[in-house]
């Protein structure tokens, strides 16, 4: 496309960009469930009621946006392309045919953060300008992505700890089964067994003994590994065969939680930060996850205490040799 055509396309477009401090998979997931969309879709003061939702090529999303002035706006989206977690493209029709455009949403991975770009292309510059003036679409787009950012931040669990050890050593603790067996899991849950396939698409499948004597299985399914900077994985409870299951004591806890763990050098020490959020979850499961943040902070505190002790012991042994 030449510069003239680019300029003409830009004149017909409304583009909204926002940098969101959340992994790309988690941002993409917010677009895939009407329960999630109801929490953030639309400008400030708007709410959304979904009548039909089928997110696949040629599938439809029919919904009503309720404005703060009491007016209802009917909307109809037909999905054209869905490439998880990179891109969503759709055609939009709404408000009795007055608002027609094609939209593309791009999710760009920036090392655990996401640059989100929404581009709506209208039939003409005149129609674009009319929509921008009549509906406040430019500011509305900014407010919508602001609400998305708040939604993701509100549901996120973040836990960080500084370890007095070099990053290469701390990375080994997360990437080798013999080390994970020494520290991973809550205090009072002794290790039973584990198998690690540490690669993108691989799995860490492990079993611990609960204080009541029952076995508890869990797993990580790795989405991305960038040594020694970050690990992205989906964590869930499981059975002995590796199937995803409900937690043994929390039936309303999300089935899957997407986690981003980053490893940052800090003057010879290493800061490990875990950021997690539920995916493919209902509104009730998200609320349960949020309500569990305090308990989770205690649980991860105990787990990281074990890692800290194990690292200190390893360095003491290395220093005495």
Same domain, 186 and 65: no
DSSP state of 248: S
Provide the domain count of the chain.
2
Same domain, 148 and 205: no
Helices (H) and strands (E) in the chain, counts: 9, 15
Q: How far from 109 is each of 94, 115, 282, CA to CA, in Å?
A: 31, 7, 25
Model pTM? 0.74
Same domain, 181 and 106: no
Instruction: Give the integer Cα–Cα distance in Å for 11 and 73.
Output: 25
Question: Domain end: 153, 188, 223, which one?
Answer: 153
Provide the CB-side half-sphere exposure for 198 (13 A, CA): 18
Residue 95 token pair: 């408000």
Same domain, 131 and 161: no
Instruction: Return the CATH number at 87.
Output: 3.30.530.20
Same domain, 140 and 161: no
Per-residue model confidence as pLDDT tens digits over 204-240:
999 999 999 999 999 999 988 999 999 989 999 999 9
Instruction: Give the integer Cα–Cα distance in Å for 157 and 165.
Output: 24
Same domain, 161 and 307: yes
Same domain, 33 and 130: yes
Q: CB burial class (10 A; 0-12, 13-18, 19+) of residue 42?
A: buried
Same domain, 233 and 310: yes
Longest dimension (CA), the chain: 78
H or E element at residue 36: helix 34-40
Residue 36 token pair: 């999630």
pLDDT by position in tens, the chain (length 321): 444 578 888 899 999 999 998 888 889 989 988 888 998 999 999 999 999 999 999 999 999 999 999 999 999 999 999 999 999 999 998 656 567 899 999 999 998 789 999 999 999 999 999 999 988 999 999 999 999 999 888 878 999 999 999 999 999 999 999 999 999 999 999 989 999 999 999 999 999 999 999 999 999 999 889 999 999 899 999 999 999 999 887 788 999 999 989 999 989 999 999 999 988 888 889 889 999 999 999 999 999 999 999 999 888 776 655
Question: Domain end: 94, 119, 153, which one?
Answer: 153
* Structural domain boundaries, residue 135: 3-153
CA–centroid distance for 88 within its chain: 16
Residue 147, sorted as left (phi over 0), alpha (psi -120 to 50) or beta, turns out to be: alpha
Same domain, 36 and 166: no
Same domain, 254 and 271: yes
Question: Domain end: 95, 125, 153, which one?
Answer: 153
């Amino acid at each position: 496309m030449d510069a003239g055509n680019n300029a003409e396309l830009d004149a017909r477009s409304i583009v909204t960009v926002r940098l969101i401090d959340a992994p790309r998979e988690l941002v993409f997931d917010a677009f895939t469930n009407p329960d999630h969309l109801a929490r953030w879709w639309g400008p400030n003061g708007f709410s959304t009621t979904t009548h039909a939702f089928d997110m696949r090529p040629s599938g439809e999303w029919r919904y009503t946006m309720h404005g703060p002035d009491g007016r209802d706006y009917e909307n109809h989206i037909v999905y054209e392309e869905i490439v998880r977690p990179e891109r969503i493209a759709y055609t939009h029709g709404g408000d009795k045919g007055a608002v027609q455009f094609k939209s593309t949403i791009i999710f760009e991975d920036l090392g655990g953060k996401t640059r989100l770009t929404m581009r709506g292309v209208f039939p003409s510059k005149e129609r674009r300008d009319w929509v921008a003036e009549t509906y406040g679409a430019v500011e509305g787009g900014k407010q919508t992505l602001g609400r998305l950012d708040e939604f993701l931040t509100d549901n996120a669990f973040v836990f960080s700890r500084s370890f007095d050890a070099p990053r290469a050593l701390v990375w080994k603790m997360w990437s080798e089964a013999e080390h994970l067996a020494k520290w991973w899991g809550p205090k009072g849950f002794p290790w039973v067994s584990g198998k690690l396939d540490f690669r993108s698409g691989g799995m860490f499948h492990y079993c611990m003994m609960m204080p009541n004597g029952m076995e508890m299985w869990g797993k990580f399914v790795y989405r991305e590994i960038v040594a020694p900077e970050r690990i992205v994985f989906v964590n869930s409870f499981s059975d002995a065969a590796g199937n995803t299951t409900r937690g043994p004591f929390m039936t309303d806890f999300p089935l899957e939680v997407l986690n981003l763990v980053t490893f940052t050098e800090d003057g010879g020490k290493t800061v490990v930060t875990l950021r997690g959020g539920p995916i493919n979850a209902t509104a009730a499961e998200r609320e349960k996850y949020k309500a569990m943040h305090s308990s989770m902070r205690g649980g991860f505190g105990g787990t990281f205490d074990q890692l800290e002790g194990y690292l200190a012991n390893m360095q003491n042994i290395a220093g005495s040799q």
